[in-house]
Amino acid sequence: MRARTFHHSAFTAERIAQERARRGSSVSVCLPARQCAGTVGEIVAALEPLRAQGAIDRIVVVDAGSTDGTAQVAEQAGAEVWQEAELLPSFGAVQGKGDAMWRALSRLDSELVCFVDADSEGFSAHFVTGLLGPLVCEQGVSFVKAFYKRPLGDSDEGGGRVNHLAARPALALLYPELAEIRQPLAGEVAARRELLELLPFATGYGVETAMLIDAWREVGIDGIAQVDLDRHRNHHQPLSALAPMAQTVLATTLARAQRDERATFSAPIDVLAHAPLERPPLASLAQAAIGDPRGDERDA
């Protein structure tokens, strides 16, 4: 039940470029972004050399209508910029990060897709090479999660409170097969497009937990890898903001457990009422429905 675990140093840009050339795999890096003008330019600039080295093909920033100049900064740094509201507009208003990722996937045409957060501070290209490494260089890997230390104050591992206090305990109890995944809420993930198209995408804070559970159902623990990226720095939210996040993560996990008959509730608890809205697997949508706003989208 142990996921395959690696350190990012095993996967250099040169190694990935060589393996990509041999296998012919195309790669897109996608950054969902909201009010990230202070960090997105630095991240795109760090990724540009990977494109020049042949490790990746595209850098796409999906902007949530930011008013701080995020789109302009990203474009000036060399990224393609898409406005999330212009992707699959027939599905209505975009409901947070997970929805933006799902909509971006409908336009990304690469075989491998890497999602990274646009608000990371001190970003390094090894975040992407580390995530891509198991997909490109190892056999049988379809889904890769990041893990890292998250410094908080004077503590080297004090961050990631919702991850440690909500996500991991819930998975350990309800999905013990995933108990070894160290950062289930990590926003950094890479996967094969053919797998991502089979997964429903939870919106908002539920996307990482739902994606991990559903990927495991499709490919098993042997198809999942996790990579140590050393340290990750970004803005830490106050406890008052973490409570809704924790509730969403728990509701998402419980809804999955109820669906998979791993948990039943004798009390009248409507778990689904607290779980976030989900978008259907892209593979389940007819091409006409994706491209035509008049298509039947009642399953959304």
Per-residue pLDDT of 203-219, as tens digits, reads 988 999 999 999 999 99
Q: Is the pLDDT of residue 288 over 80?
A: no
Higher pLDDT, 296 or 251: 251
Distance CA 163, CA 185 (A): 6
Binned at pLDDT 50, 70 and 90, residue 194 comes out as very high
298 lies in some domain: no
Q: What pLDDT digit, counting tens, does each position of 251-268 carry?
A: 999 999 999 999 887 665
Specify if 58 maps to a domain. yes
| Domain membership flag for residue 230 | yes
Distance CA 89, CA 64 (A): 13
Domain that holds residue 46: 4-284
Number of structural domains, the chain?
1
Q: Classify residue 290: in a domain, yes or no.
A: no
Whether residue 205 is contained in a domain is answered as: yes
Q: In the predicted model, what is the mean pLDDT of residues 228-246?
A: 78
- CATH number of the structural domain spanning residue 85: 3.90.550.10
Q: Domain for residue 291, yes or no?
A: no
Residue 300 lies in a domain: no
Angle subtended at Cα 81 by Cα 276 and Cα 92, rounded to the nearest 5 degrees: 35
C-alpha to C-alpha distance for 103 and 90, rounded to whole angstroms: 11
